[in-house]
Amino acid sequence: MTCDPQGEGGAHDEPGARDPQAYAGDGARPGAHGPERTAAAFHAVYGYAPGGVWAAPGRVNLIGEHTDYNDGFVLPLALPHTALLAASRRADGVLRVHSGDVPGGVVELRADALTPAADGGWAGYPAGVVWALREAGLAVGGADLHFDSTVPTGAGLSSSAALEVATATALNDLYALGLEPQRIARIGQRAENAFVGVPCGIMDQTASACCTEGHALHLDTRDLRQRQVPFALAAEGLRLLVVDTRVKHELGDGAYAKRRAGCEQGARTLGVRALRDVPYEGLGAALDRIEDGTVRGLVRHIVTENRRVEEVIGLLDAGETPAIGPVLTAGHISLRDDFTVSCAELDLVVESANAAGALGARMTGGGFGGSAIVLVEEADAEAVTKAVTHAFGAAGYAAPRVSPAVPSAGARRLA
Ligand code: ADP
Ligand code: MG
Protein backbone atom coordinates (compact mmCIF):
# COMPACT_ATOMS: atom_id res chain seq x y z
CA MET A 1 0.00 0.00 0.00
CA THR A 2 -0.69 2.44 -0.50
CA CYS A 3 -1.35 3.81 2.97
CA ASP A 4 -3.50 6.42 1.43
CA PRO A 5 -6.74 6.56 3.28
CA GLN A 6 -9.23 8.34 1.11
CA GLY A 7 -11.24 11.25 2.20
CA GLU A 8 -8.65 13.89 3.00
CA GLY A 9 -9.96 16.10 0.26
CA GLY A 10 -8.42 18.99 -1.60
CA ALA A 11 -4.83 19.97 -1.96
CA HIS A 12 -2.46 18.67 0.68
CA ASP A 13 -0.53 21.83 1.19
CA GLU A 14 -0.86 21.62 4.94
CA PRO A 15 2.02 22.57 7.20
CA GLY A 16 4.75 20.04 6.79
CA ALA A 17 4.17 19.71 3.08
CA ARG A 18 6.82 21.62 1.24
CA ASP A 19 8.90 21.57 -1.86
CA PRO A 20 11.80 19.27 -1.04
CA GLN A 21 13.99 21.09 -3.52
CA ALA A 22 13.26 24.46 -1.96
CA TYR A 23 13.57 23.05 1.50
CA ALA A 24 17.26 23.75 2.14
CA GLY A 25 16.54 27.39 1.52
CA ASP A 26 13.56 27.47 3.87
CA GLY A 27 13.88 30.91 5.37
CA ALA A 28 11.72 30.11 8.38
CA ARG A 29 14.20 27.60 9.72
CA PRO A 30 17.78 28.50 8.91
CA GLY A 31 20.44 25.95 8.11
CA ALA A 32 20.32 22.96 5.80
CA HIS A 33 18.14 20.03 6.74
CA GLY A 34 20.51 17.76 8.63
CA PRO A 35 21.37 16.31 12.03
CA GLU A 36 22.97 19.51 13.34
CA ARG A 37 19.89 21.58 12.69
CA THR A 38 17.60 18.93 14.14
CA ALA A 39 19.77 18.60 17.26
CA ALA A 40 19.85 22.40 17.67
CA ALA A 41 16.07 22.54 17.36
CA PHE A 42 15.73 19.79 19.96
CA HIS A 43 17.92 21.88 22.28
CA ALA A 44 15.77 24.94 21.69
CA VAL A 45 12.58 22.98 22.47
CA TYR A 46 13.70 20.90 25.45
CA GLY A 47 16.63 22.89 26.85
CA TYR A 48 19.30 20.19 26.59
CA ALA A 49 21.20 18.30 23.89
CA PRO A 50 19.58 15.14 22.44
CA GLY A 51 20.96 11.65 23.01
CA GLY A 52 21.18 11.16 19.26
CA VAL A 53 19.71 11.91 15.84
CA TRP A 54 18.09 9.31 13.57
CA ALA A 55 16.78 9.39 9.99
CA ALA A 56 14.06 7.42 8.22
CA PRO A 57 13.15 8.04 4.56
CA GLY A 58 9.93 8.33 2.62
CA ARG A 59 9.51 6.00 -0.34
CA VAL A 60 8.10 5.58 -3.81
CA ASN A 61 6.92 2.29 -5.16
CA LEU A 62 8.53 1.50 -8.50
CA ILE A 63 5.89 -1.11 -9.37
CA GLY A 64 3.46 -3.42 -7.52
CA GLU A 65 0.49 -1.22 -6.61
CA HIS A 66 -2.43 -2.42 -4.48
CA THR A 67 -0.77 -5.84 -4.44
CA ASP A 68 0.25 -5.72 -0.78
CA TYR A 69 -3.17 -6.60 0.59
CA ASN A 70 -3.39 -9.42 -1.92
CA ASP A 71 -0.27 -11.18 -0.56
CA GLY A 72 1.59 -9.99 -3.67
CA PHE A 73 4.88 -8.35 -4.61
CA VAL A 74 6.03 -4.75 -4.27
CA LEU A 75 9.23 -2.98 -5.33
CA PRO A 76 9.70 0.29 -3.42
CA LEU A 77 12.80 2.43 -3.08
CA ALA A 78 13.71 4.85 -0.33
CA LEU A 79 13.83 8.54 -1.18
CA PRO A 80 16.41 11.15 -0.22
CA HIS A 81 13.54 12.87 1.60
CA THR A 82 13.79 11.91 5.26
CA ALA A 83 12.22 12.41 8.64
CA LEU A 84 14.98 13.36 11.05
CA LEU A 85 14.41 12.69 14.73
CA ALA A 86 16.47 14.05 17.61
CA ALA A 87 15.66 12.03 20.71
CA SER A 88 16.56 11.26 24.30
CA ARG A 89 15.45 8.64 26.73
CA ARG A 90 13.62 9.79 29.88
CA ALA A 91 13.62 7.95 33.16
CA ASP A 92 10.27 9.26 34.42
CA GLY A 93 7.92 7.63 31.89
CA VAL A 94 6.95 10.95 30.30
CA LEU A 95 6.72 10.98 26.50
CA ARG A 96 7.09 14.40 24.88
CA VAL A 97 6.76 14.85 21.12
CA HIS A 98 7.33 17.93 19.02
CA SER A 99 7.51 18.56 15.28
CA GLY A 100 9.11 21.54 13.59
CA ASP A 101 6.79 20.89 10.66
CA VAL A 102 3.39 21.46 12.26
CA PRO A 103 2.08 24.33 14.30
CA GLY A 104 1.44 23.76 17.98
CA GLY A 105 3.83 23.05 20.77
CA VAL A 106 5.05 20.02 22.64
CA VAL A 107 2.53 17.21 23.14
CA GLU A 108 3.05 15.58 26.53
CA LEU A 109 1.87 12.02 27.22
CA ARG A 110 2.74 9.13 29.50
CA ALA A 111 4.34 6.09 27.91
CA ASP A 112 2.40 3.76 30.22
CA ALA A 113 -0.98 5.40 29.63
CA LEU A 114 -1.34 5.44 25.84
CA THR A 115 -4.64 4.30 24.36
CA PRO A 116 -5.46 3.93 20.65
CA ALA A 117 -8.77 5.72 21.04
CA ALA A 118 -7.10 8.94 22.15
CA ASP A 119 -6.76 10.94 18.95
CA GLY A 120 -3.57 12.85 19.46
CA GLY A 121 -3.47 14.15 15.87
CA TRP A 122 -0.04 13.79 14.33
CA ALA A 123 1.40 12.77 17.71
CA GLY A 124 -0.50 9.48 17.31
CA TYR A 125 2.21 8.24 14.93
CA PRO A 126 5.15 8.41 17.37
CA ALA A 127 2.92 7.66 20.38
CA GLY A 128 1.54 4.65 18.51
CA VAL A 129 5.05 3.31 18.08
CA VAL A 130 5.72 3.54 21.83
CA TRP A 131 2.37 1.84 22.41
CA ALA A 132 3.16 -0.93 19.87
CA LEU A 133 6.60 -1.57 21.37
CA ARG A 134 5.12 -1.87 24.84
CA GLU A 135 2.28 -4.06 23.51
CA ALA A 136 4.98 -6.35 22.13
CA GLY A 137 6.31 -6.71 25.67
CA LEU A 138 9.37 -4.55 25.15
CA ALA A 139 10.68 -2.40 27.99
CA VAL A 140 10.21 1.09 26.59
CA GLY A 141 9.53 4.08 28.83
CA GLY A 142 9.60 7.82 28.35
CA ALA A 143 11.41 9.90 25.75
CA ASP A 144 11.73 13.41 24.34
CA LEU A 145 11.32 13.51 20.54
CA HIS A 146 11.72 16.30 18.02
CA PHE A 147 10.99 15.74 14.31
CA ASP A 148 12.18 17.67 11.29
CA SER A 149 11.11 16.09 7.98
CA THR A 150 11.52 16.75 4.27
CA VAL A 151 8.99 14.09 3.29
CA PRO A 152 5.94 15.99 2.00
CA THR A 153 2.79 14.91 3.79
CA GLY A 154 -0.10 13.30 1.99
CA ALA A 155 1.77 13.18 -1.34
CA GLY A 156 1.79 9.39 -1.33
CA LEU A 157 5.46 9.33 -0.31
CA SER A 158 4.85 7.87 3.16
CA SER A 159 5.65 10.70 5.51
CA SER A 160 3.73 8.74 8.16
CA ALA A 161 5.87 5.61 7.82
CA ALA A 162 8.98 7.80 7.99
CA LEU A 163 7.83 9.17 11.36
CA GLU A 164 7.01 5.72 12.70
CA VAL A 165 10.21 4.08 11.53
CA ALA A 166 12.35 6.99 12.80
CA THR A 167 10.66 6.66 16.19
CA ALA A 168 11.07 2.88 16.40
CA THR A 169 14.69 3.06 15.22
CA ALA A 170 15.57 5.70 17.82
CA LEU A 171 13.84 3.86 20.67
CA ASN A 172 15.45 0.61 19.55
CA ASP A 173 18.85 2.23 20.13
CA LEU A 174 17.95 4.30 23.21
CA TYR A 175 16.39 1.30 24.97
CA ALA A 176 18.81 -1.28 23.51
CA LEU A 177 15.93 -3.43 22.24
CA GLY A 178 17.97 -5.28 19.61
CA LEU A 179 15.21 -5.18 16.96
CA GLU A 180 15.97 -6.01 13.33
CA PRO A 181 14.79 -3.54 10.65
CA GLN A 182 11.97 -5.88 9.56
CA ARG A 183 10.65 -6.02 13.12
CA ILE A 184 10.86 -2.24 13.33
CA ALA A 185 8.73 -2.08 10.17
CA ARG A 186 6.09 -4.34 11.70
CA ILE A 187 6.00 -2.21 14.86
CA GLY A 188 5.45 0.86 12.69
CA GLN A 189 2.65 -0.84 10.76
CA ARG A 190 0.98 -1.95 13.99
CA ALA A 191 1.13 1.62 15.29
CA GLU A 192 -0.52 2.92 12.13
CA ASN A 193 -3.14 0.13 11.92
CA ALA A 194 -4.14 -0.21 15.55
CA PHE A 195 -3.26 3.12 17.16
CA VAL A 196 -3.74 5.71 14.41
CA GLY A 197 -6.41 3.58 12.73
CA VAL A 198 -5.16 3.49 9.12
CA PRO A 199 -5.44 0.02 7.53
CA CYS A 200 -2.15 0.14 5.59
CA GLY A 201 -0.09 -2.83 4.45
CA ILE A 202 3.54 -3.49 5.36
CA MET A 203 5.24 -1.94 2.33
CA ASP A 204 5.76 1.64 3.49
CA GLN A 205 7.38 0.83 6.81
CA THR A 206 9.47 -1.96 5.30
CA ALA A 207 10.79 0.38 2.62
CA SER A 208 11.66 3.04 5.17
CA ALA A 209 13.35 0.56 7.50
CA CYS A 210 15.04 -1.84 5.07
CA CYS A 211 15.94 -0.13 1.77
CA THR A 212 19.56 0.37 0.83
CA GLU A 213 21.23 2.96 -1.38
CA GLY A 214 21.21 2.19 -5.11
CA HIS A 215 18.58 -0.52 -4.78
CA ALA A 216 14.87 -1.15 -4.95
CA LEU A 217 13.47 -3.61 -2.42
CA HIS A 218 11.63 -6.66 -3.68
CA LEU A 219 9.24 -7.59 -0.91
CA ASP A 220 6.96 -10.59 -0.93
CA THR A 221 4.13 -9.36 1.27
CA ARG A 222 3.01 -12.92 2.04
CA ASP A 223 6.10 -14.25 3.77
CA LEU A 224 7.94 -10.91 4.06
CA ARG A 225 10.97 -12.28 2.25
CA GLN A 226 12.95 -9.49 0.70
CA ARG A 227 15.80 -8.91 -1.71
CA GLN A 228 17.73 -5.79 -2.63
CA VAL A 229 17.53 -5.37 -6.41
CA PRO A 230 20.24 -3.15 -7.97
CA PHE A 231 18.64 -0.04 -9.47
CA ALA A 232 21.50 1.79 -11.11
CA LEU A 233 19.94 4.96 -12.39
CA ALA A 234 22.80 7.46 -12.53
CA ALA A 235 25.29 4.90 -13.89
CA GLU A 236 22.96 4.28 -16.82
CA GLY A 237 22.29 7.96 -17.48
CA LEU A 238 18.74 7.71 -16.24
CA ARG A 239 16.56 9.60 -13.81
CA LEU A 240 13.42 8.71 -11.96
CA LEU A 241 11.29 11.77 -11.31
CA VAL A 242 8.61 12.00 -8.65
CA VAL A 243 5.81 14.28 -9.77
CA ASP A 244 3.61 15.36 -6.88
CA THR A 245 0.28 16.43 -8.36
CA ARG A 246 -0.54 18.26 -5.10
CA VAL A 247 -4.10 17.02 -5.20
CA LYS A 248 -5.89 14.43 -3.16
CA HIS A 249 -9.44 13.82 -4.34
CA GLU A 250 -12.16 13.21 -1.85
CA LEU A 251 -13.89 9.93 -2.47
CA GLY A 252 -16.35 9.99 0.37
CA ASP A 253 -17.21 6.37 0.82
CA GLY A 254 -13.93 4.55 1.09
CA ALA A 255 -12.73 3.73 -2.40
CA TYR A 256 -9.81 1.87 -0.85
CA ALA A 257 -12.07 -0.32 1.29
CA LYS A 258 -14.20 -1.09 -1.78
CA ARG A 259 -11.21 -2.20 -3.84
CA ARG A 260 -10.00 -4.30 -0.96
CA ALA A 261 -13.38 -5.96 -0.48
CA GLY A 262 -13.62 -6.55 -4.26
CA CYS A 263 -10.24 -8.29 -4.25
CA GLU A 264 -11.36 -10.51 -1.37
CA GLN A 265 -14.55 -11.33 -3.23
CA GLY A 266 -12.52 -12.28 -6.31
CA ALA A 267 -10.28 -14.56 -4.25
CA ARG A 268 -13.32 -16.23 -2.67
CA THR A 269 -14.95 -16.81 -6.07
CA LEU A 270 -11.75 -18.35 -7.38
CA GLY A 271 -11.23 -20.45 -4.24
CA VAL A 272 -7.78 -19.08 -3.45
CA ARG A 273 -6.39 -17.63 -0.22
CA ALA A 274 -5.45 -14.38 -1.95
CA LEU A 275 -5.28 -13.12 -5.54
CA ARG A 276 -1.55 -13.68 -5.41
CA ASP A 277 -2.36 -17.37 -5.85
CA VAL A 278 -3.95 -16.87 -9.28
CA PRO A 279 -1.22 -17.75 -11.79
CA TYR A 280 -0.70 -15.35 -14.69
CA GLU A 281 -0.98 -18.25 -17.10
CA GLY A 282 -4.42 -19.07 -15.70
CA LEU A 283 -5.74 -15.53 -15.81
CA GLY A 284 -8.06 -15.97 -18.80
CA ALA A 285 -9.75 -19.01 -17.28
CA ALA A 286 -10.01 -17.27 -13.91
CA LEU A 287 -11.66 -14.20 -15.43
CA ASP A 288 -14.22 -16.41 -17.17
CA ARG A 289 -15.39 -17.54 -13.73
CA ILE A 290 -16.09 -14.02 -12.45
CA GLU A 291 -19.41 -12.47 -13.37
CA ASP A 292 -19.02 -9.04 -11.80
CA GLY A 293 -17.21 -6.77 -14.26
CA THR A 294 -15.74 -4.60 -11.52
CA VAL A 295 -14.27 -7.57 -9.68
CA ARG A 296 -12.94 -8.91 -12.98
CA GLY A 297 -11.01 -5.69 -13.46
CA LEU A 298 -9.60 -5.83 -9.93
CA VAL A 299 -8.47 -9.43 -10.42
CA ARG A 300 -6.92 -8.67 -13.80
CA HIS A 301 -4.95 -5.77 -12.32
CA ILE A 302 -3.58 -7.72 -9.37
CA VAL A 303 -2.54 -10.75 -11.42
CA THR A 304 -0.92 -8.70 -14.19
CA GLU A 305 0.67 -6.32 -11.67
CA ASN A 306 2.42 -9.15 -9.82
CA ARG A 307 3.68 -10.29 -13.21
CA ARG A 308 4.93 -6.76 -13.95
CA VAL A 309 6.90 -6.71 -10.69
CA GLU A 310 8.64 -9.91 -11.76
CA GLU A 311 9.24 -8.49 -15.24
CA VAL A 312 10.81 -5.31 -13.86
CA ILE A 313 13.03 -7.29 -11.50
CA GLY A 314 14.15 -9.50 -14.39
CA LEU A 315 15.05 -6.44 -16.45
CA LEU A 316 16.90 -4.75 -13.57
CA ASP A 317 18.85 -7.92 -12.83
CA ALA A 318 19.77 -8.13 -16.52
CA GLY A 319 20.99 -4.52 -16.53
CA GLU A 320 18.24 -3.46 -18.93
CA THR A 321 16.91 -0.59 -16.86
CA PRO A 322 15.53 1.57 -19.73
CA ALA A 323 13.33 -1.36 -20.77
CA ILE A 324 11.30 -1.12 -17.56
CA GLY A 325 9.73 2.10 -18.89
CA PRO A 326 6.95 0.47 -20.94
CA VAL A 327 6.20 -1.89 -18.05
CA LEU A 328 5.66 1.12 -15.76
CA THR A 329 3.28 2.66 -18.29
CA ALA A 330 1.40 -0.63 -18.66
CA GLY A 331 1.04 -0.64 -14.87
CA HIS A 332 -0.50 2.83 -15.01
CA ILE A 333 -3.01 1.81 -17.68
CA SER A 334 -4.01 -1.17 -15.57
CA LEU A 335 -4.51 1.03 -12.49
CA ARG A 336 -6.48 3.50 -14.59
CA ASP A 337 -8.73 1.10 -16.49
CA ASP A 338 -8.92 -2.09 -14.42
CA PHE A 339 -8.40 -0.95 -10.83
CA THR A 340 -9.90 2.52 -11.48
CA VAL A 341 -7.84 4.42 -8.92
CA SER A 342 -6.25 7.06 -11.16
CA CYS A 343 -7.50 10.59 -11.75
CA ALA A 344 -7.20 13.26 -14.43
CA GLU A 345 -4.05 14.82 -12.92
CA LEU A 346 -2.19 11.50 -12.65
CA ASP A 347 -3.23 10.53 -16.18
CA LEU A 348 -2.00 13.88 -17.43
CA VAL A 349 1.45 13.36 -15.85
CA VAL A 350 1.77 10.00 -17.58
CA GLU A 351 0.47 11.17 -20.95
CA SER A 352 2.41 14.42 -21.10
CA ALA A 353 5.65 12.84 -19.85
CA ASN A 354 5.49 9.98 -22.33
CA ALA A 355 4.58 12.35 -25.17
CA ALA A 356 7.66 14.41 -24.30
CA GLY A 357 9.99 11.43 -24.57
CA ALA A 358 9.92 9.76 -21.15
CA LEU A 359 10.73 6.04 -21.15
CA GLY A 360 7.65 5.31 -19.05
CA ALA A 361 5.52 6.65 -16.24
CA ARG A 362 2.88 5.57 -13.75
CA MET A 363 0.90 6.76 -10.80
CA THR A 364 2.37 5.51 -7.53
CA GLY A 365 0.70 5.02 -4.17
CA GLY A 366 -2.98 4.52 -3.52
CA GLY A 367 -4.23 6.81 -6.27
CA PHE A 368 -6.84 9.58 -6.68
CA GLY A 369 -4.03 12.12 -6.46
CA GLY A 370 -0.65 12.03 -4.77
CA SER A 371 2.38 11.33 -6.93
CA ALA A 372 3.41 9.75 -10.21
CA ILE A 373 6.87 8.54 -11.20
CA VAL A 374 8.51 9.14 -14.55
CA LEU A 375 11.57 7.32 -15.92
CA VAL A 376 13.63 9.49 -18.26
CA GLU A 377 17.02 9.67 -19.91
CA GLU A 378 19.00 12.26 -17.95
CA ALA A 379 19.26 14.44 -21.06
CA ASP A 380 15.46 14.57 -21.36
CA ALA A 381 14.69 15.25 -17.70
CA GLU A 382 14.36 18.99 -18.07
CA ALA A 383 12.25 18.88 -21.23
CA VAL A 384 9.93 16.28 -19.71
CA THR A 385 9.58 18.29 -16.49
CA LYS A 386 8.72 21.37 -18.55
CA ALA A 387 6.23 19.46 -20.67
CA VAL A 388 4.39 18.10 -17.62
CA THR A 389 4.36 21.51 -15.94
CA HIS A 390 3.11 23.11 -19.15
CA ALA A 391 0.37 20.51 -19.54
CA PHE A 392 -0.78 21.19 -15.97
CA GLY A 393 -0.89 24.91 -16.65
CA ALA A 394 -2.86 24.39 -19.86
CA ALA A 395 -5.36 22.21 -17.97
CA GLY A 396 -5.79 24.88 -15.31
CA TYR A 397 -4.10 22.81 -12.56
CA ALA A 398 -1.63 24.16 -10.00
CA ALA A 399 1.99 23.45 -10.95
CA PRO A 400 3.14 19.98 -9.87
CA ARG A 401 6.24 19.53 -7.73
CA VAL A 402 8.95 17.54 -9.46
CA SER A 403 11.93 16.05 -7.62
CA PRO A 404 14.42 13.29 -8.45
CA ALA A 405 13.96 9.92 -6.75
CA VAL A 406 17.50 8.77 -6.03
CA PRO A 407 17.39 5.26 -4.50
CA SER A 408 18.55 6.05 -0.96
CA ALA A 409 19.37 4.39 2.34
CA GLY A 410 16.80 3.18 4.85
CA ALA A 411 16.55 4.20 8.49
CA ARG A 412 19.79 4.82 10.34
CA ARG A 413 21.44 6.71 13.18
CA LEU A 414 23.14 9.91 12.05
CA ALA A 415 24.61 11.32 15.25
P1 ADP B 1 1.59 10.05 3.66
O2 ADP B 1 2.12 9.01 4.59
O3 ADP B 1 1.27 9.51 2.31
O4 ADP B 1 2.45 11.26 3.58
P5 ADP B 1 -0.53 10.06 5.58
O6 ADP B 1 -1.87 10.66 5.59
O7 ADP B 1 -0.40 8.60 5.76
O8 ADP B 1 0.18 10.54 4.24
O9 ADP B 1 0.34 10.72 6.73
C10 ADP B 1 0.41 12.11 6.84
C11 ADP B 1 0.27 12.49 8.29
O12 ADP B 1 1.46 12.12 9.01
C13 ADP B 1 0.18 14.00 8.49
O14 ADP B 1 -1.15 14.44 8.36
C15 ADP B 1 0.68 14.14 9.92
O16 ADP B 1 -0.31 13.78 10.86
C17 ADP B 1 1.76 13.08 9.98
N18 ADP B 1 3.09 13.66 9.66
C19 ADP B 1 3.87 13.36 8.61
N20 ADP B 1 5.03 14.06 8.65
C21 ADP B 1 4.97 14.82 9.76
C22 ADP B 1 5.86 15.76 10.38
N23 ADP B 1 7.04 16.05 9.83
N24 ADP B 1 5.47 16.33 11.53
C25 ADP B 1 4.28 16.04 12.08
N26 ADP B 1 3.41 15.16 11.55
C27 ADP B 1 3.73 14.57 10.41
MG1 MG C 1 1.07 7.30 5.16
DSSP code per residue over 209-251? HH--TTEEEEEETTT--EEEEE--SGGGTEEEEEEEEEEE---
Q: Are residues 163 and 284 in the same domain?
A: no
Q: Is-contact 347 214, C-beta < 8 A? A: no
Question: The CATH number of the domain where 99 resides is what?
Answer: 3.30.230.10
Number of other CB atoms surrounding residue 139 within 10 Å: 9
Q: Are residues 44 and 177 in the same domain?
A: yes
Q: Are residues 168 and 301 in the same domain?
A: no
Pocket residue to mutate for ligand 1, from 4, 12, 122, most atoms within 8 A of Cβ = 122
Nearest atom, ligand 1, residue 156 CA: 3
Q: Are residues 201 and 257 in the same domain?
A: no
Q: Are residues 23 and 58 in the same domain?
A: yes
Query: Ligand 2 centre and the CA of 332: distance in Å?
Result: 21
Q: Give every residue of the chain whose pLDDT is below 70, as ranges.
A: 1-30, 118-120, 251-253
Q: Are residues 191 and 92 in the same domain?
A: yes
pLDDT score for 344: 97
pLDDT score for 249: 86
Q: Considering every ligand atom, which ligand is closest to the CA of 128?
A: 1
Q: Are residues 296 and 334 in the same domain?
A: yes
- Count of structural domains within the chain: 2
pLDDT score for 1: 40
* Ligand 1: lining residues by beta carbon, under 6 Å: 3-4, 16, 83, 99, 101-102, 122, 125, 147, 149, 153-160, 163
Number of other CB atoms surrounding residue 80 within 10 Å: 17
Pocket residue to mutate for ligand 1, from 81, 159, 198, 371, most atoms within 8 A of Cβ = 159
Residue 242 burial (C-beta neighbours within 10 Å; 0-12, 13-18, 19+)? buried
Q: Measured at the alpha carbon of residue 413, what is the angle toward residues 415 and 18, in degrees to the nearest 5? A: 90
What letter represents residue 380's amino acid? D
Query: Ligand 2 centre and the CA of 158: distance in Å?
Result: 4
Domain with 62, as residue range(s), is 5-231+408-413
Q: Give the closest residue (by CA) to ligand 1 atom 20.
A: 159
Q: Are residues 304 and 374 in the same domain?
A: yes
Q: Are residues 173 and 242 in the same domain?
A: no
Active site residues: 204
Query: Ligand 1 centre and the CA of 122: distance in Å?
Result: 7
pLDDT score for 120: 65
Note the pLDDT tens digit of each residue in 314-344: 999 999 999 999 999 999 999 999 999 999 9
Question: The CATH number of the domain where 391 resides is what?
Answer: 3.30.70.890
Q: Are residues 63 and 142 in the same domain?
A: yes
Q: Considering every ligand atom, which ligand is closest to the CA of 153?
A: 1
pLDDT score for 251: 66
Q: Are residues 305 and 358 in the same domain?
A: yes
Q: Are residues 302 and 194 in the same domain?
A: no
